Structure 1
């Protein structure tokens, strides 16, 4: 793996997963770069996406801001940076799966841009659980350690979403996920390795090894169980379920970190 190619993949991942500006020079040969290859850099892009929120944790702590206010601010700002891409996937998946219809109808509901009751509930829970878990980390840990835990959750969740993408076939022949292709085992392994290594880097100084292992196990279990649910309901993945996987594992990771801290 060439360093230059990987940096390009990081920039492409950042452009895909967020609304952060990326220099145009990284897109000069964009046609030759597939999204399925770019996926290996998702965790590294997650690190860049998490940095502003992590800095805000430290800044708010310096001004003795309320942990709850800080948690909500950081989750809200991060959602703005990503264009609520993954939150939208979670909401669409919740509406589809919550409908109890057959596969074809579920996929139609997930494609609908309107948000139903299940989607609204899922989004409220997502924001509330993440903000509250982050507030708990800010109350329990030093500011820099809480900021690092936030980065760790965002990085790990963007690694396991590639696992979800690779593990299941496309549930439909059209759509963003189907058109982008599917990461191979090599890309999945790189994404998981980067995600786990960065997770360890940002948590080992603050938590016992046993707690870190339990948090990783919780994130992996959530990914596997959600994958089985997608397989049983729609027979594979879609762009929405990939985003939902990121949200579910980020929630599980932050809550597990808050419980372990």
Structure 2
């Protein structure tokens, strides 16, 4: 691959995972497949996290309240992603929390309405992330929190690619099927980038022990969630892929906050 191919893949991955406008030239003549571009999910995560990260830097420089800064940063992140991953978390929670078999759970995932399990999952995820960011910001400061946001964004999107590759499709339609499963080299690249970026950025911002334990907990959360999805659905959907990002992001932020 040439350097321009990596740039193309970063732009396509960012366009898929967010509402950030990408130049049309990266998509002209492209078949819409993410099989190769999935390898750049961690770098797309860095691009996405720049927006809430800059909010943290500016508000902390202005001396704003840390809790309010954390909530505003999360709102900016949700706007940037279009709540894509939150939607996956809510649909997955509604489906797996319901009684019934596999077909019933898959039909719930396709329903645009949200149920009690979905609401509770969103509340828990947002609350945990907001509190964790508040603690990190209070203890480590604005610059280190900025680095943590970048690290978590990269690692959680690497987990998405891994989950996607580990399971077959649960159904034969949907976005995850339409864009194509990531190929093995792309998954290896995504996991390598996710681990490397998380380790590098958190070593500087939180230290060695939070870095090592944080990586371990991200891996454990991704493995446990993927095992649950395999047992209940027999394969991935776009919603379970999005939920993977939310679960690993929440776990990693909470872990880093507890270990500071």
Q: TM-score range by the shorter chain?
A: over 0.9
What is the alpha-carbon root mean square deviation over aligned residues?
1.0
Structure 2 distance, partners of 1:246, 1:196, is: 14
| Alpha-carbon distance, 1:184 to partner | 2.0
Indicate if the aligned counterparts of 2:46 and 2:154 stay in contact, CA closer than 8 A. Answer: yes
| Alpha-carbon distance, 1:196 to partner | 1.3
Structure 1 distance, partners of 2:50, 2:181, is: 28
What TM-score do you get using the length of structure 2 for normalisation? 0.97
Report the equivalent of 1:27. Answer: 27
Which runs of structure 2 are paired with 1:236-247 in the superposition (5 Å)? 236-247=235-246
| Alpha-carbon distance, 1:219 to partner | 0.2
| Alpha-carbon distance, 1:25 to partner | 1.1
| Alpha-carbon distance, 1:3 to partner | 1.3
3-state SS in 1 of match to 2:205: coil
Report the equivalent of 1:253. Answer: 252
- Kindly report structure 1 stretches of 4+ aligned residues shifted beyond 6 Å: none
Indicate if the aligned counterparts of 2:144 and 2:206 stay in contact, CA closer than 8 A. Answer: no
Structure 2 distance, partners of 1:181, 1:81, is: 24
| Alpha-carbon distance, 1:153 to partner | 0.7
Report the equivalent of 1:16. Answer: 16
| Alpha-carbon distance, 1:73 to partner | 0.4
Structure 2 distance, partners of 1:182, 1:253, is: 25
| Alpha-carbon distance, 1:134 to partner | 0.5
Residues 90-120 of structure 1, C-alpha deviations (whole Å, 9 max, x = no match): 0000000000210000000011011011001
Structure 2 distance, partners of 1:155, 1:232, is: 27
Report the equivalent of 1:6. Answer: 6
| Alpha-carbon distance, 1:248 to partner | 0.2
| Alpha-carbon distance, 1:145 to partner | 0.6
What TM-score do you get using the length of structure 1 for normalisation? 0.97
Indicate if the aligned counterparts of 2:137 and 2:145 stay in contact, CA closer than 8 A. Answer: yes
Are 1:172 and 2:171 matched, yes or no? Answer: yes
Structure 2 distance, partners of 1:143, 1:26, is: 34
Report the equivalent of 2:181. Answer: 182
| Alpha-carbon distance, 1:65 to partner | 0.9
| Alpha-carbon distance, 1:195 to partner | 1.1
Indicate if the aligned counterparts of 2:174 and 2:238 stay in contact, CA closer than 8 A. Answer: yes
